[in-house]
Amino acid sequence: MFFGKRAVIVAAAISGLMFASAANAASVSDCVQMAKQVATAVDAAQPGKAKSDAVTEQRAGQSYCGFSMYAQGVAHYTKALQLLGQPQSKG
């Protein structure tokens, strides 16, 4: 029983460290840049499932970035661009 609780605590600590390093992988400026790219791509997209799914990913990106979870926000923005067949531009 003690070993099981200890394993859970260790796993939680490791995942916390992984999250902390992932959060540092992106910044608020990355979110802002991606938000602009996605907004432009969504505006230019034809109505349909891909656009609808991209808007869902866009909203998730906005939410994560709004809560300072930049890496997760950028990942959702990237997914939105992929759904619309748009490349992610650098800068």
pLDDT (tens digit per residue) in 6-64: 654 544 455 554 454 454 579 999 999 999 999 999 999 999 999 999 999 999 999 99
Q: How many CB atoms lie within 10 A of CB 65?
A: 24
36 three-class SS: helix
Q: Give 37's contacts (C-beta < 8 A, 6+ positions apart).
A: 77, 81, 86, 88, 89
Of residues 44, 90, 38, the one with CA closest to residue 64: 38
Residue 82 has a pLDDT of: 96
Task: Tell me phi and psi for residue 58, to 5 degrees.
Answer: -60, -45
Distance, CA of 78 to CA of 84 (rounded, Å): 10
Range scoring the smallest mean pLDDT among 4-8, 69-73, 77-81:
4-8
Is the torsion defined by CA of 32, 34, 37, 43 positive or negative? Answer: negative
